[in-house]
Homo-oligomer: A and B are copies of this chain.
Amino acid sequence: MRNLDETDLRILELLAEDARRPFSDISAEVDLSAPAVSDRIDRLREEGVIRRFTVDLDQSTLSGGTPVLVRLAVRPAFVDDVRDTLRDAEPVEHLFVSADGDVTFHARLGSDSIRAELHELLDLSTVRDYEVSLVESAEWTPTVNGTGFALECAECGNTVTSEGERARIGGTLYHFCCSSCLGRFEDRYDRLEAGAQASEN
């Protein structure tokens, strides 16, 4: 697959913040035209990078069952089966499969008998052991490339908003909250580089 460039990543960050943001809005952020942004987003969907645009709900306000976190020690031969079953199971919201065959999932179950619901959900003979705990709070923060979208100014540490600036300095892309932070950073960088060159001689 084609590599994503910085513009793609920036678009994904902006969509993670607000997926309903107009393309014209995004296009201003990334210095592109609106149709160009639309094209890139189409491509990201086709490539499977974007799975869907969706909504992050505060489930605690919805009171739809008891949220539980279940950890299954699955018999190695059945890991794929169990994953596929749980993936399509209605009450399952989050599903993690670890390299060692543990399957952890977050689901909302009817409050009656959790053990009985687990039986309905999957064949417990495929499982060596399981553990259920009630979930008090569950949160989700969409991140792009592990960096999160809450960028920090490389100069002052403040949050970088839409008014921020970006610059490639010494091969690395830095984000700044404003042009003066960018200016100060560049000055410092130039001075450091001049010092390094002086010491080389």
A contacts, CB < 8 Å to B: 1, 4, 12, 15-20, 47-59, 61-62, 64-65, 69, 83, 87, 90-100, 102, 104, 106-109, 133-148, 150
Q: A140 contacts B15, CB within 8 Å?
A: no
Q: B54 contacts A54, CB within 8 Å?
A: yes
Give A16 to B138 CA distance when docked, in angstroms. Answer: 17
User: Which residues of B sit under 8 angstroms from A55, Cβ to Cβ?
Assistant: 12, 15-16, 19, 50-54, 142
User: Which residues of B sit under 8 angstroms from A143, Cβ to Cβ?
Assistant: 59, 64, 90-91, 93, 108
Q: B18 contacts A53, CB within 8 Å?
A: yes
Q: A97 contacts B57, CB within 8 Å?
A: no
Give A38 to B26 CA distance when docked, in angstroms. Answer: 22
A146 to B: closest C-beta gap in Å: 4
Q: B90 contacts A147, CB within 8 Å?
A: yes
Q: B54 contacts A16, CB within 8 Å?
A: yes
Q: Which of B18, B51, B64 contacts A145 (CB 8 A)?
A: B64
Task: Contacts A52-B55, A64-B143 known; list 9 others, CB within 8 Å.
Answer: A15-B54, A17-B54, A50-B56, A59-B143, A69-B102, A93-B142, A97-B136, A97-B137, A102-B133
User: Which residues of B sit under 8 angstroms from A56, Cβ to Cβ?
Assistant: 50-54, 142
User: Which residues of B sit under 8 angstroms from A87, Cβ to Cβ?
Assistant: 139, 141
User: Which residues of B sit under 8 angstroms from A91, Cβ to Cβ?
Assistant: 143, 146, 148
Q: A140 contacts B137, CB within 8 Å?
A: no
Q: B100 contacts A64, CB within 8 Å?
A: no
Give A83 to B104 CA distance when docked, in angstroms. Answer: 19
A65 to B: closest C-beta gap in Å: 4
Q: A98 contacts B12, CB within 8 Å?
A: no
A51 to B: closest C-beta gap in Å: 4
Give A91 to B56 CA distance when docked, in angstroms. Answer: 18
Chain A to chain B contacts (Cβ below 8 Å), 29 pairs: A12-B57, A16-B54, A17-B54, A19-B20, A19-B53, A19-B55, A20-B20, A47-B61, A49-B58, A50-B56, A51-B55, A51-B56, A53-B56, A54-B54, A62-B146, A65-B146, A69-B104, A87-B139, A90-B143, A90-B150, A93-B142, A95-B137, A95-B140, A96-B106, A96-B137, A99-B134, A104-B104, A108-B146, A109-B146
